[in-house]
Amino acid sequence: MVSGGRAPDADRHGGAAGQDDLGPLPEWNLNDLYPGTQSRELTQDLERARQQARQLREDYEGRLAGLDGDSLAVAIERYEAIEEVLGRLMSYAQLVYSGDMSNPEVGKFYQGMQESVTAISTDLVFFTLELNNIPEDALEAKLASRKLAAYRPWLRDVRAFRPHQLSDELERMLHEKHVSGRSAWVRLFDETMAALRFPLNGEDLTSSEVLNKLTSHDAATREAAAKTFGGTLGAHVRTFSLITNTLAKDKQTEDSWRGFARPVSSRNLANFVEDEVVDALVGAVRESYPKLSHRYYRLKASWMGKDTLPYWDRNAPLPEDDDKVVPWPAARETVLNAYAEFSPTLAEVGQRFFDRNWIDAPTRAGKAPGAFSHPTVPSAHPYVLLNYQGRTRDVMTLAHELGHGVHQVLAGHQGHLMADTPLTLAETASVFGEMLTFQRMLRHETDPKRRKVMLAAKVEDMLNTVVRQIAFHEFERRVHDERKAGELLPERLGQIWLETQREALGEVFEFDDEYQYFWCYIPHFIHVPFYVYAYAFGDCLVNSLYAVYENAQGDFADKYLEMLQAGGTKRHRDLLAPFGLDASDPTFWHQGLGLIERFIDELETFE
């Protein structure tokens, strides 16, 4: 799963503007990674990594515990260098694959790269296992070495998994089987979704294209798009159910061996956040459903002259929305100006993405839906994938993904092992970038009707990021809990989906039969189980952070940049402390949710 992705959903898709209306859209140039799938540079890196991994194992297997601090630091430096080459190889393969998932040759290349990199990295499995077997006091003595102390944050994170580590032989077996096990099912999901076509008005549309129709001004188009989307997913529900059941069972088996108490616990540990903190977030959001989503959608129904809303009207444009198309140059200027107003450094880094072809913006058949920013490796740079179609929400998506990209660039100096942040913190810069862009656009909007439309769109995005993602989390939690008792039939998966959606969205919505299949296309359930709560975590965190910014003195931007530059070296408590925030405090989440409530308060004044 590439980093910094947004779950593809109707909340993140724009309208059906024509190519000519948008201006020239950039396509990324992957040559900074490799000049081609069959290039000499790629082949040489594969062979060099293979030899270096084998040599590292020969030099150090069974010996790490006996090294002094300086010598252990040298070993980690060698390990990091190999991992970065493997990261570059797989980043390139993932980006090529994301650009055209329906091409069999591309699929073959991607699978081949996975198999090659997995085989090479098998020689590296011993390394972190042996590090975790070093007694705590012995490692602390080694950390007196200044060279080794530089890796203290990485060692801390690696050793967090010590209680759940299996024997060396089992760990190596799980690693080698991954490519023919879990990752094969993920590939089946990706290629099935990429190959699906949704018939509408004489055309066969991709998932991105048909989801765009759910924001059409024409109610009949929205209904037809929803029907064909749900109906087509339903025709393939047995495949999606098999994938979901298999991966849930696979996770249950591994969690049991590793001693994780709950299905979500392994994800929480990977995010370095306590189960209790996540429980507090989920509880706060669910408690807020009535005053957030239920309240807003009743308001939206009244604006549309209805007592209830069919589910395909959830992201329908408001009657006042003029469906204004935002050409690509205007979107770029809007986002960069918002970044520059906050920090010239943010804007300067963001500008590189446009100047150096680090963005792939057009929609294409076979291209991955949704949007993401892939960090690749620190020796290169991130790449951003969009499906830009000219709506204001697409501008917000650009602001979001560019925030990820800037964060990844700023953290790159930490090196390959310590640049990445946990998912919970990875959303900070992206959501903050959205907020900066939205607030600037709102300040410059004087037309009350346009202001209402902008506020409503922002509230819907926040509900989709917070309420809807927690509803996704609840769906996932219930599926994994029930899977322990046996395979879930497609009908049961649909029931759980409808129950969690009704709870989150409220009684104002009417759900037709085909909506029971909409769970099928959410890739995060497949790629990274329990990823989705990180969106709500990030949004609430940023809402609280932005409230501090509004009342802060002039050093806020400097503190913010320091937070991004820290990469994965600090945990959430340390990162938030300079701003006087604490995610373990239950009031923290309600403070973040309060911003959404205030926006809805303002929208009620437009009635």
**pLDDT tens-digit map of 283-309:** 999 999 999 999 999 999 999 999 999
Q: Would you say residue 10 has pLDDT above 50?
A: no
- pTM for the model stands at 0.84
Tally of CB atoms within 10 A around 78: 17
User: What is the phi/psi pair of residue 583, to 5°?
Assistant: -70, -15
pLDDT in tens, 192-250: 998 999 999 999 999 988 998 998 999 999 999 999 999 999 999 999 999 999 999 99
pLDDT confidence tier of residue 607, bands split at 50, 70 and 90: low
Share of the chain above pLDDT 90, in %: 80
Render pLDDT for 532-567 as a digit per residue (tens, 0 to 9): 999 899 899 999 999 899 888 778 999 999 999 999
pLDDT digits (tens, 9 = 90+) for 565-575: 999 999 888 99
Q: What is the pLDDT of residue 18?
A: 54
pLDDT at 466: 95
Mention every residue, 6+ apart, whose C-beta is less than 8 A from residue 335.
Answer: 350, 395, 398, 399, 402, 433, 437
Structure letter (DSSP) for residue 484 = T
User: How confident is the model over 331-386, as pLDDT tens digits?
Assistant: 999 999 999 999 999 999 999 999 999 999 999 988 988 899 999 999 999 999 99
Looking at residue 20, its pLDDT comes to 64
Other Cβ atoms closer than 10 A to 299: 18
Residues 6+ apart with CB under 8 A from 111: 187
CA–CA gap between residue 605 and residue 519 (Å, rounded): 35
Question: What does the block give as tokens for 43?
Answer: 């082949």
Of the given ranges (26-40, 209-223, 312-326), which has the lowest mean pLDDT? 312-326
In terms of Cα–Cα distance, which of 583, 603, 570 is closest to 152? 570
Give the pLDDT band of residue 129 (cuts 50, 70, 90): very high
Identify which of 73-77, 171-175, 316-320 has the greatest average pLDDT.
Answer: 73-77
Cα 380–Cα 434–Cα 301 angle in degrees, nearest 5? 140
403 vs 176 pLDDT, higher one: 403
The pLDDT assigned to 585 comes to 82
Assigned token pair, 106 = 């591309």
Torsion of Cα atoms, 133 then 135 then 141 then 146, to 10°: 30
Q: Which pLDDT does position 7 carry in this prediction?
A: 46
What's the rounded Cα separation, in Å, for the pair 161 and 542?
28
Residue corresponding to tokens 């129950």: 499
pLDDT tens digits, 253-276: 999 999 999 999 999 999 988 899
Distance separating alpha carbons of residues 421 and 154, to the nearest angstrom:
11
Q: What is the 3-state secondary structure (H, E, C) of 372-412?
A: EEECCCCCCCCEEECCCCCCHHHHHHHHHHHHHHHHHHHHH
